Amino acid sequence: MEKIRVALVYGGMSGEHSVSCLTAASVMRAIDRDLYEVVPIAIAKDGTWVPGIDDPEGLEANGPHGEVQVGEEKIIAGFGPGAEFCVVNERKEMRSLGRIDIVFPLLHGPFGEDGTIQGLFEMMGIPYVGCGVFASAAGMDKHFTKVVLEEAGIPFTPYVLADAPRWANEPDAVREEASRLKFPLYVKPARAGSSLGISRVANMEDLDAAIEVAHKVDSKVLIEQGIPGREIECAVLGGREGRGPRASVLGEIVLTSQWYDFETKYEDNGGFRMQIPAKLPEDLAAEMQEMACRVFTAFDCEGLTRVDFFLTEEGPSRVVVNEINTMPGFTNVSMYPALWEATGLPYAELINELCAQAASRPAGRR
């Protein structure tokens, strides 16, 4: 039986470039080689596409600081019927990477999970794992995430928008609106991932500096009210043949540091631990799983999404959606695969299910 040729695309132009390389290593090690032929494609930090390496140990060698290197060979993409990826060298010699049945974009952050690369695959007519253009774009943008959640009647964290034009033209209005939120506040780039550029603000005196830090990452910034409570996460997996989405058991991020920033996630492993399954009453867990599936449906997600909640001790809305991740951390020890492992779906089988879903989708705008 002919193997399915799956292009694993990793690296990328975002601040999560190195994390993506680690993700590719985990998938390469776990994917069923009897079913799939891996075609590695790497994207350097400057956006150059190059032939990747099918070498998990090599990709993991530099830990959370690995980087795709650019050599004399580069990859170009064609569009339209029969579109393919080709390798071209400095002498303008060209060779095709051959048939690609599925693309698995193992990319995080801008130009990876924000709908841009999904649109490229749409134009090439190649099936790909994960959410389509709209869901990816809306889920990546923390502002529009809240817009979609509000329309769906799903509780979310209170916020103030501080994009570059508004901060330049009406900073006093931004400060005044922010002062009505309860401290501490969290100032976040609207379209970054892995907690890059986020600051915890304990008083108004520190707000301006935090906004400037966030603007270095993204011109669009949110000021969010801190929600005292537990951080609960749920992995959602799309269904095939018209079936609805499925929710995993719930997990909890238990912090031993002050908050869950980039260093805590990827460098200081002692700063947190994952409690799987989360210790919750059955009825509350079922409510959160049902809400996670509602979020998945509201955004028209496909494939995989992780929904992150705050669980408060009191108030009319005890369960509040913090954010969604349409390409969540996907190393073999990340929360999303770990939640499905605890639900009864091992990592290798999860990869197979996601690839099968991608292959079964009809072509068309997503």
195 is catalytic: no
pLDDT of residue 1: 78
pLDDT of res. 240: 84
Domain ranges for the chain, please list them: 4-128, 139-155+228-359, 159-225
Does residue 163 have a known ligand-binding role?
Answer: no
The pLDDT score that the predictor gives to residue 193 is 64
- Helix/strand/coil (H, E, C) string of the chain? CCCEEEEEEEECCCCCHHHHHHHHHHHHHHCCCCCEEEEEEEECCCCCEEECCCCHHHHHCCHHHCCCCCCCCEEEECCCCCCCEEEECCCCCEEECCCCCEEEECCCCCCCCCCHHHHHHHHHCCCECCCCHHHHHHHHCHHHHHHHHHHHCCCECCEEECCHHHHHHCHHHHHHHHHCCCCCEEEEECCCCCCCCCEEECCHHHHHHHHHHHHCCCCCEEEEECCCCEEEEEEEECCCCCCCCEEEEEEEEEECCCCCCHHHHHCCHHHEEEECCCCCCHHHHHHHHHHHHHHHHHCCCCCEEEEEEEECCCCCCCEEEEEEECCCCCCCCCHHHHHHHHHCCCHHHHHHHHHHHHHHCCCCCC
Decide whether 4-128 matches 139-155+228-359 in CATH topology. no
pLDDT at residue number 8: 98
> Which is the catalytic residue, given 14, 18, 199, 334?
334
Active site residue 334: yes
Instruction: Locate 223 and state its tokens.
Output: 């000021």
Annotated ligand binding at 114? The verdict is no
User: Is 325 labeled as ligand-binding?
Assistant: yes
**Residue 269 has what pLDDT?**
55
The torsion region of residue 239 among left (phi > 0), alpha (psi -120 to 50) and beta comes to beta
CATH code of domain 159-225: 3.30.1490.20
Annotated catalytic residue within 16, 122, 233, 341: 16
Question: Rounded distance, CA 119 to CA 114, Å?
Answer: 10
Point out which residues pair with 236 in neighbouring strands. 247, 305
CA-CA distance, 237 to 234, in Å (whole number)?
10
Q: Is 360 a catalytic residue?
A: no
CATH class given for the domain over 139-155+228-359: alpha beta
Q: Which CATH architecture has domain 4-128?
A: 3-Layer(aba) Sandwich (3.40)
Q: Which of 20, 26, 194, 199 is catalytic?
A: 194
Q: Which stretches of the chain score pLDDT less than 70?
A: 193-195, 257-271, 314-317, 363-366
Q: What is the pLDDT of residue 120?
A: 95
Q: For residue 271, what pLDDT is reported? A: 67
